[in-house]
Chains A and B, each alone.
Chain A
């Protein structure tokens, strides 16, 4: 079986986590030429509710498109942490928003905390880019695609006027994650 790497982004609907998953899948499959499948599940609400997006990355074809044993997971809210920070493999990675998740999910994984929403609001000036901060952080923590591929995929996705903002957000998340690793 081809080696799979499974990443799950979770949070509240409207936080852009499906977009974060799409950007990661673009980076892996279109820019780096690997196989990638991005999928999602969400409730009927347009905003709020727990939402998740999963990306499976492999060198060969991917059959089952959903997560089996999650290598790395992001949870932006307590509800999403309770619901989706499960099935993470031993030694895997869990990244939590430091302000919005109080109760740590239990498991034998490496736990990291980062004030993602606050960083987006205070350091970048726009809460809306929290998903891109989170994406930079997840790429930094996992190394599943290169920083360059991640950044290029972000820039391909956003309109010209928002490229600088998103580039800053991506790099902030990436650099901060490297600090967490050290």
Chain B
């Protein structure tokens, strides 16, 4: 009886442990470290500090002067971090193709395929199934539309080569809060916004 129970326990444990190892589908990968983690963490830390600052001020733990000075310091820091995160995000499309880039790449691959098909047909008897296509790589010339004049421009451009507008987010001159084109007043300080050409 004990031997049967022991074997049963071993069998159940073995099955439970080995079950996930069976090969039914390609192995998914564990998520790897993202490059922005540190920046995002610092941004969150700064935002938390800003919130704490306001609560401390509301409770009377900080004088208005200290509050204003420290708030400015942390807002500047938050802005710098946001800009760094934005820069990282705008750099990412260079390594990841845009929609236009993907379409251009598909077109190129189709053309290549059409060219190689007659060759394959001529070389009948070989093993075409084992022939591997070259891996699609993003085009270095990937383009995206300019937010102002909608011309197709390189994704890495800092200024539009057609209308000259700056491709970095515009910021309020008074409080440095980013704003979108067409906005007339700052959402944070209420200051009138003036478009700075070619900034």
Q: Do A and B bind each other?
A: no
Q: List residues of chain A with CB under 8 Å of any chain B CB.
A: none
Q: List residues of chain B with CB under 8 Å of any chain A CB.
A: none
